């Protein structure tokens, strides 16, 4: 399973693939104004992490087990660095719950966070 969250002009977008097949997508206008692109990206990452967990449970109920980690591609290196760093930063105080959720699933091997460039 591959998951790609994106942010475009306050529009939060997430798509999920199982192999080459699109199995889930989500598009939502951001309801609050983020103080930074990192905060906005992190909110999408937390929402996408919840979607990944739900898809894992759904696939398990259908008898399909995933043998590898789910990559959640991210184009914001600050968000990736914050997730990998166990030291709590003052600048993430507004996203603490989202931080804990995403970090927990990264640490326990549910997801990986490979960087993907958004420039062409």
The 10s digit of each residue's pLDDT in 37-75 is 777 787 888 888 998 999 999 999 999 888 889 999 888
- In the chain, beta strands by DSSP E: 2-8, 11-18, 21-29, 70-71, 111-112
CB 45 within 8 A of CB 106: no
Q: Is the pLDDT of residue 77 over 60?
A: yes
Q: What is the pLDDT of residue 56?
A: 92
- pLDDT value, residue 62: 94
Tell me the C-alpha distance between 53 and 70, whole Å: 10
Residue 117 binned pLDDT confidence (cut-offs 50, 70, 90): confident
Q: Is 77 helix (H, G, I), strand (E, B) or coil?
A: helix
Could you give the C-alpha distances from 112 to 15, 31, 73, in angstroms and in order?
Answer: 16, 27, 8
Percent of the chain scoring above 70 in pLDDT: 77
The answer to whether residue 10 scores a pLDDT higher than 70 is no
Distance (Å, whole) CA 45 – CA 23: 18
């Amino acid at each position: 399973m591959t998951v790609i969250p994106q942010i475009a002009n306050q529009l939060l977008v997430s798509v999920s693939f199982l192999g080459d097949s699109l199995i889930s997508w989500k598009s939502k206008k951001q309801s609050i104004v983020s103080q930074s692109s990192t905060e906005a990206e992190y909110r999408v990452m937390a929402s996408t992490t919840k979607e990944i967990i739900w898809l894992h449970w759904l696939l398990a109920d259908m008898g399909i087990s995933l043998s590898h980690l789910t990559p959640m591609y991210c184009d914001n290196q600050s968000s990736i660095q914050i997730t990998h760093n166990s030291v709590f930063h003052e600048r993430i105080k507004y996203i603490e719950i989202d931080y804990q959720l995403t970090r927990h699933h990264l640490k326990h091997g549910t997801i990986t966070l490979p960087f993907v460039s958004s420039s062409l």
